[in-house]
Structure 1
Amino acid sequence: MSLSSSPFNVFASYTPKPKTFLKDSKLLSRSHQPNSFPLQTQKPSTNLTLTRPKLKPISSLETSEINTSSSPTFRNKPANEINILVVGSTGYIGRFVVKELVSRGFNVIAVAREKSGVRGKNNKEETLKQLKGANVCFSDVTDITSLQESLQNLNLSIDVVVSCLASRNGGIKDSWKIDYEATKNSLVAGQNFGAKHFVLLSAICVQKPLLEFQRAKLKFEAELMNQKDSTFTYSIVRPTAFFKSLGGQVEIVKEGKPYVMFGDGKLCACKPISEEDLASFIADCVLEEDKMNQVLPIGGPGKALTPLEQGEILFRVLGREPKFLKVPFEVMDFVIGVLDGVAKVVPGVKEAAEFGKIGRYYAAESMLILDPETGEYSEEMTPSYGKDTLEDFFEKVVREGMAGQELGEQFF
């Protein structure tokens, strides 16, 4: 599920125990050489051969591994010789990741559906404009055979795979289809074309997995961390809340309505991060060796903010006296209880019950590092990155509206 698909948003497996990135905030420069050259069509250094795949693809069809060689020392190559495959490229974060990687001079291969965006509203021409500077590969990540055939037609080897895939809504079926199966397809296909590094956009909420999409993400994370190839590396990025997930009430508050929150508004704190800052951090993971084989929780700059504090910032930006509507948790618990009961008789209601649980989770759980010693969420342990603040975001949305911030089908 995208971090941005709940109004209360944001988002462990401890087997195996991954190393965790818990360094002080470090603002890194984004001034990189523009990508002013076309994608190089370098051929794989070995002929294509048919062998059994190292990992069984998520498909009922047998597929053959395409054995291409890619140097494990790709980090020593200039950016314009590094081929990066991005899946989930037209999602909310994926678009910014593609733009950032292109700006740093990498050769970007962006996988997209022929009709992408929320409810497939973007056609091929619009997608090409959206992913300007990248070599767009129209394919289907849910079909390993289709994905590998599309990549083979490009006649390129792959150095790095960056996955920004996330299920449309966090539902049970969609979570396993996208957060696990499609993401694994991208790993298998990338490795078959020589990839030696995988950057995964995950979610900080998997630390406390109570929902199906969290379990699907953790299953893939565990498999990624247990690769048999000792030369293969990974970076698992677990961000806190996206800005747009906290902007859903701007318009109603502008109309004079109260800011809605659950309980006293002091639960579910987060360090929200902008899409540009998160994309920059993900791009850092391509080459920075201190991010290799690491689980990397990350938040935006500044202190952690509760819903109450987020609402106060919005009212301050609007120049109005704060007005809040506090909804008891019991209301949500009652609805979830009813849906769970009905689901025992009518299985189709199970998905609706899961959506209710997602909302309940986001309303109560903080999107910060969960201290294993105390069992409490820790603002101090949660790394900060970037420069964009939530107040800056609210000011922009008040001026320009939420265009481009739509919630919905975020996964590619």
Structure 2
Amino acid sequence: MQPLRVFLLGATGTIGRATLRALQADGHAVVCFVRPRAGRDAAGVPALLAGAEVRFGDVTDAGSLWRDGFRGERFDVLVSCLASRTGAPADAWAIDHRAHVLALAAARQAGVRQMVLLSAICVQKPLLAFQQAKLAFERALRDSGLVWSIVRPTAFFKSLCGQVERVRSGRPFLVFGDGTLTACKPIGDDDLGRYIAGCLTDPARQHKVLPIGGPGEAITPRQQGEWLFELFGRTPRFRQVPVALLDGIVGVLAVGGRLSPTLAAKAELARIGRYYATESMLVLDEATGRYSAAATPSTGSQTLLDCYRALAAGAPAPQRGDHAVF
């Protein structure tokens, strides 16, 4: 396999770092374009992204992308693991759409002929601003003339680890409804990173939208709780949160949002929470309108139960940042 020169966005996130490791393992030369701080001291970023060339700049600024990022050099592939931090409308359209449009334009100037985009499986049923923004860029990429792959993963392990400490400390596991309203096939960082890196050289993954989950059967929130109770040797205790309560919160914030931008943003975050409480992260069968575990492809070897076992044994919990719910 001939090594490629890769321009990577979103490298400091957990999926970005896993993708970088996979790209390096395949022998590719990677340049990471990151925010001047990216939530850390700039001095620590090169160590975080060991083995890659790190360049600092502003992905929302076309001039910075070209001047500080591509620097007039040639690249083979643009890979993006970049996503908005909150999913709020302004952030979503700035990052999930416009920043990617600017990066794509700069990449084409740099001779890039291929792009691999990390998207999300939830765009199948786009009810939220960040989903609309992601879809808008997906369309732009498909129409770009480049070789493209759009990877739509199911739930991440880090998104499903928020209640580990609740259970460890003897508190009940929170579920919406009875805990079986939704299901997912969660995928680990390294398995997803390897899948993304494989898109560079596997023709079967090119010019395709690629939904992907981790190994094993689809699992519900109630099953997740049962695993944790068993690992910590505790009697299962679930607290059911009515979906109607979320509807009420959304409604109150939406009314307040007519007068306050702050409340409007909070209303959107509440809508995001409700979405994930009621929609499965699986392939959507458009003919039936139902989610299908059987139609959701799987990859990799690490399961969510493996992750829970490691956390129960003392492994550090993943940082969930703005996407934390519990």
State the match for 1:265 in structure 2.
179
Q: In terms of Rg, which structure is larger?
A: 1
Q: Specify which structure has the higher proportion of helix.
A: 2
Please name the residue that 2:21 is paired with.
Answer: 99
Counterpart of 1:110? 32
Instruction: Point out which structure has higher relative CO (alpha carbons under 8 A, 6+ apart).
Output: 1
Contact 2:60 2:102 in 1 (8 A): yes
Cα distance in structure 1, aligned partners of 2:256 and 2:47? 46
Encode CA deviations 1:141-193: one digit per residue, 9 max, x unaligned: 1111011012354x531100000110011111100010001111221111110
Partner of 1:253: 167
The offset of 1:104, in angstroms, is 1.3
The aligned counterpart of 2:246 is 332
After TM superposition, the score normalised by the length of structure 1 is 0.76
2:66 aligns to what SS in structure 1? Answer: helix
| Residue 132 of structure 1 pairs with residue 50 of structure 2 | yes
1:322-368 per-residue CA deviation (whole Å, 9 max, x = no partner) reads: 11111111111111111111112334321110000000000000000
1:190-215 Cα offsets, whole Å, 9 max, x none, are 11100001000000000000000000
- How much identity, in percent, do the aligned residues show? 46
277-286 or 337-346, which deviates more: 337-346
| CA shift for structure 1 position 91 | 1.2
Instruction: Identify the residue that residue 66 of structure 2 maps to in structure 1.
Output: 148
Are 1:86 and 2:8 an aligned pair? yes
Q: CA RMSD in A?
A: 1.3
- 1:357 lines up with 2:274 in the alignment: no
How many positions carry a matched residue from both structures?
A: 323
Equivalent residue for 1:168, pick from 72, 77, 85: 85
2:92·2:129 contact (CA, 8 Å) conserved in 1? yes
Q: Which runs of 5+ in 2 are unaligned?
A: none
1:220 aligns with 2:134: no
Name the SS for the 1:400 alignment partner.
Answer: coil
Q: What TM-score, normalized by structure 2, do the two folds share? A: 0.96
**Which structure 1 residue ranges, 4+ long, deviate > 4 Å from structure 2?**
none
1-structure distance, mates of 2:233, 2:200: 42
SS in 1 for 2:313: helix
SS at match of 1:310: helix
Q: Answer yes or no: is the 8 Å Cα contact 1:163–1:186 preserved in 2.
A: no
The match for 2:309 is 395
